[in-house]
Structure formats: structure tokens, C-alpha cells
Amino acid sequence: MTALQRVLGTGWKTFEKGRKVKNLLALRVGDLSACAIPLERVAEMGFQGLEITWPQGWSADDVRRKLSPAGLRVTSLSVRARLADDAFLPPFEAAAAQAQAVGAGVLFVSLKKEGLSQTEAVDRLRRIGGAVAKHGARVGMETHPDLTANGDDALATLSAVNHPAIGWNFDTANIYYYNEGRNAVDEARKAARLVVSVHLKETNGGFKSNQFGVLGTGVVDFAGVFDTLNSQGFHGPFTMEVEGPLMKSETPEELAGKIAAGVAHLRRLGKV
């Protein structure tokens, strides 16, 4: 049993045996109360899960009622938090309880030191790990400076934290956006054992370039990324993230077309 299977428990077995797909594919939709595309359409495209921001005032039952007609589930929950805040734990405790209530295994978050020393940051991350693990969740730290911007940073930070509930959200395009002279496959390989979630995003490969297009139209070797992570027992969630001017659309239908084209690319590669 892999680390992800231990975190997802019976939820993973249902996915693995019931859906019989190679990798768990999810879509980042933001606030669940304001999805740009009908959820039934999302499911038709081949997504099994969603990364959401919890709608204000919603209960777990509200979330389930929203997802049930489309047969989707929450695979990761986006958390807004700052590591440098004095009260840094409550947002994670609350989000982990919400995630547990809807069967999500991952809390996605972008964290920076913001004046904390590396030692202080590591200590706080370890405490966060202890808090979310009580609810069966893990934290996926975004591929952002200054703690997990690339494979070397992620390996150093997360090895120091040394907590099974604190891992890396590997973003295929942010590797290029925040770094020069690196590529997605090599960076994934460096810290593959620490990846708990992935953001699938295309790029033209430019440093600080926000030209994030349809999957398969840029430089990211998605087959290599999937193969690298699959070899370590990681099979999802692989979450498609829609971001940047190239993905802006005039209508929901246009946006759905771009997303569907990305799914088609992954299918041609045999990864979903």
C-alpha cells in the first residue's frame, strides 16, 4: 500500500476498483457555488474529482448535494492560510475537518516563510501536519517560492519537516515560471516520493511567462511526469488547473472545449 492509499483509505479502494482508471483526474474549479462549467459537463469530459474552495456558509451536505448529480467528489480542498500568522493552525484544522466530512484527502495551499526562519517554518509545518493528520488529510504545498519552488527546495524543506502529512503539490508549469534551466520531469524525479497532489498546467517554458495553454500545446512532458510519479506509487489526484490569458474564454462552451482538448491529450498519452 502506498502513502496515498494509506491517506485515502477505503476511498482509494473504491476509486481503484470501482472506476478502474489509471490515474485520478480532477479539475480545479474554485468556489463550488460559482462553477464556470456545469458539473455534469465536467464529469462527461472524464474528470472524477474536483479541487474546490469551500463555499462560505455551506455544510458538507450542501457540497455532497451539489456534486451528487454529476457523480463527482472532492479530491482536494484549497486553503487560504499564512505560515507567518500567529494563529496559523486554525485554518488548517477547520479545512481538514471539512475535507474529512466530504472524503477529500488533500489540502492544497501556497505557503511562504514571510520573515520566518527556515527552522521556524519547518517547526510550524510539522505542527500543521500533526493537526491535519488527525482528520486523515495531507497538505500539498504549491510549487511556489520560497519553500517548494522546485525539486531541490521541496526535497530540502519537506525532508526537514519529516511529517507524512506534509507533502508537495507538484505544478508542471510553475517549475518553468519560477525557475530557469529546469524541466518538469527532472524536478518531479527529485522529490517524487513527497508528492501528494499535482497541478496539470501547460506552459511555453518561459521564465515568469504566464502563457499557460491547453495541455499538449507547450513544452511540458506530461507522459514523463505521469510515468515518474506512477513509478513511485502516486496515481492522483492529478488536477487540471485553468489559468492565464491563453485559457480565458468568452463562453462556458469555449472554456469546456479547451479543457476537453487537454483531457484528450492525456488520453492519447494513455495516462487517464
| Predicted local confidence at residue 18, as pLDDT | 44
Mean pLDDT of 61-71: 97
Report the predicted TM-score, pTM, of the whole model to 2 decimal places: 0.91
| Predicted local confidence at residue 250, as pLDDT | 87
Single-letter residue type at 90: P
Share of the chain above pLDDT 90, in %: 91
| Predicted local confidence at residue 17, as pLDDT | 41
Flag whether pLDDT at 147 surpasses 50. yes
Flag whether pLDDT at 16 surpasses 50. no
- Average confidence score pLDDT of the chain: 92
Q: How confident is the model at residue 22 (pLDDT cuts 50, 70, 90)?
A: confident
Share of the chain above pLDDT 70, in %: 92
Single-letter residue type at 135: H
**Which residues lie below 8 Å from residue 239, measured CB to CB, with a gap of 6+?**
25, 26, 27, 28, 49, 51, 75, 76, 197, 198, 199, 200
Whether residue 155 contacts residue 190, with contact meaning beta carbons closer than 8 Å, is answered with yes
Whether residue 191 contacts residue 155, with contact meaning beta carbons closer than 8 Å, is answered with yes
Local structure of 199: helix, strand or coil: strand
| Predicted local confidence at residue 8, as pLDDT | 37
Which DSSP string do the residues of 247-258 spell out, in sequence order? G--SSHHHHHHH
Partners of residue 106 on adjacent β-strands: 76, 138
Find the Cα–Cα–Cα–Cα dihedral 152, 169, 251, 38, rounded to 10°.
170
Q: What is the pLDDT of residues 209-232, one digit of tens each?
A: 999 999 999 999 999 999 999 999
Mean pLDDT of 47-64: 97
Q: How confident is the model at residue 1 (pLDDT cuts 50, 70, 90)?
A: very low
From residue 231, give the alpha-carbon distance in Å to each of 18, 50, 73, 95, 182: 22, 24, 25, 30, 21
Please tell me the least confidently modeled range out of 4-8, 24-28, 36-40, 119-123.
4-8
Flag whether pLDDT at 139 surpasses 90. yes
